[in-house]
Structure 1
């Protein structure tokens, strides 16, 4: 397909590029392939990666004909419903990987990735998670695929094993600095195991996503019931404060001896991806999130509507995370005085994400079984 010439970039895009911020498509499904949307977004420089989520696939299966042909073919195949789901998402990922391959090659693997996940029911079964993840990566068989692994259950242990086996990993459902630190340690240990087995550190990578929208919503709900007189003033601050502390931890990790040894062998930094799975998230809310979370080498996952609005926006105010750990700590201290400990709330939010993922996956299974 011939893509249209790239129009002059908006002020917002220019500024994000200058700040080292990358953009991903967050509501990716087969429909964005068949109508040429993904190709246009990549050609226009708006998108450098995609996330395939069960909820987006389920919506496309019930509301479009994008999956009809493959579902008809799969109905004649002797396979379980779950195996058919993997066939669907693997085909989505292969096509997206091919579309993003020029970006992947041009940036030497810093951008151009595609993230997809395994069945959420496996979260407590490390052996099954590892097997399914490796099989899915083999089904896609592209160098720019990431397997999405949640931190719940046995997730981090499996993420380390996958990295050691040279499968790149997208760690999800992180809501606290504590969990992020564990994800960083998992990445370092996984790379060390891979290199100890004679593999180049450059052959594998990882990113960690933080769902700032749900973190803010969870904290604000607790603040609404707090008797602390300062509670109202703290609404909407927990997400940015956590992001600032996480980014400070990210910068510190790149200065430690373990990382200096790994980067000497070609390792890539473990990128941070800011996201919000609040549905529906308006384009304005998504762009407000971008403006509050700008820092070098970070990524934002946005729905297509927000990406298109951003392409017409005038600009942002620059880096909002670096050097702000002091103000972030003051917010966290104030939240604790109001009776809210983000590290404890994070575990409830992790479980809530896992439940939403399971429900969306079940909707896909139902759709497959109906064909």
Structure 2
């Protein structure tokens, strides 16, 4: 590795980790910032969520003309939200189109999430996903669907339509296995429906830092030396075991049959990789999760931190499964209930995105009134 900081991101990419940016705004698009990060920071994808859009609209300075047009047309707040967000995603997809073309459609992807208020409504989630696919109208978009119980059949149905999907809000190992099953079923149905499987891309967004936040809170409440020694270890251990599940699923005969028909694997995507606890390394969830064929979507602060001082020692995931299982077993031995942690995180994840979506709508409503 040379002294050039950008080489750290190049080394990470060379190790098999696709570097995606977990952020988007109109300002980032129009200023040339996203294009610059594509060219200089090896950014090959973008993820968005309701919180990102709410923040962009609240702080952005470049939405005014479009908001004024929407006000003149007397569009509803709901429809205005779709116009604004799909515009940003479409523009970002165009910026990343060279990456999409160069990677034969693997990267250069931009994600947009269905309305989070639909997280427990299968049929409407499917309808919304189909609408967003049509509205963005770019082959390199991914439609984000939450991995709730109601989201699983929606994931299958949307993939069966030939639509590329980013499955989000995955926290637990059993739910992740169910997501991969839904992916396989969706591709099998897509094949039966006559779709070209090679054009369908999917990632499974497995959340990392939020696991540590919830478990650390419980460990600190216990307060014993054994409990405190486990802080900051669950998130990485959980994700590493998810990669083990990925390796098992994608070496199965079921997958081999789909691959023979042209299917692409559903890559694990490490999400929520910004470190919440300042006592931990700010690149903990990047350095600890380096493995072939994964995506790491990072807030810009995390990406810049890795660019500045991150290390790529090689694969830091495979070969760690026994050690990772020991971490979860030790937590169980202390009375930290894994299933309860996962249930809390999923419920809070949906609720947080609903709050952000409502904030987004409120911001748009206020701006439309002023326009």
TM-score range, shorter chain: over 0.9
1:232 CA displacement:
1.3
For the residue of structure 2 that corresponds to 1:138, the secondary structure is helix
CA RMSD, Structure 1 to Structure 2 (Å): 1.9
Matched, 1:238 2:234: yes
Paired residues, number:
364
Matched, 1:226 2:222: yes
Matched, 1:310 2:306: yes
Match of 1:87 in 2: 83
Which consecutive unaligned segments of at least 5 residues does structure 2 have? none
Counterparts in 2 of 1:262 and 1:136: CA distance versus 1, 3 Å: same
Separation in structure 2 between the aligned mates of residue 339 and residue 278 of structure 1, nearest angstrom: 27
Matches within 5 A, 1:1-371: 10-226=6-222, 230-276=226-272, 285-313=281-309, 315-370=311-366, 371=368
Separation in structure 2 between the aligned mates of residue 79 and residue 125 of structure 1, nearest angstrom: 25
> Could you give the per-residue CA deviations for residues 42-92 of structure 1, whole angstroms, max 9, x where no partner exists?
122521100122222222222221221111111122432111101111101
Separation in structure 1 between the aligned mates of residue 215 and residue 8 of structure 2, nearest angstrom: 29
Separation in structure 1 between the aligned mates of residue 277 and residue 140 of structure 2, nearest angstrom: 28
Q: Would the aligned equivalents of 2:273 and 2:286 in 1 still touch at CA under 8 Å?
A: no
Separation in structure 2 between the aligned mates of residue 196 and residue 268 of structure 1, nearest angstrom: 16
Which consecutive unaligned segments of at least 5 residues does structure 1 have? 1-6
For the residue of structure 2 that corresponds to 1:28, the secondary structure is coil
For the residue of structure 2 that corresponds to 1:130, the secondary structure is helix
Counterparts in 2 of 1:249 and 1:279: CA distance versus 1, 3 Å: closer
Counterparts in 2 of 1:15 and 1:246: CA distance versus 1, 3 Å: same
Q: Under a length normalisation based on structure 1, what TM-score does the superposition of the two structures give?
A: 0.93
Deviates more, 1:145-154 or 1:310-319: 310-319
Q: Under a length normalisation based on structure 2, what TM-score does the superposition of the two structures give?
A: 0.93
1:341 CA displacement:
2.6
Counterparts in 2 of 1:281 and 1:155: CA distance versus 1, 3 Å: farther
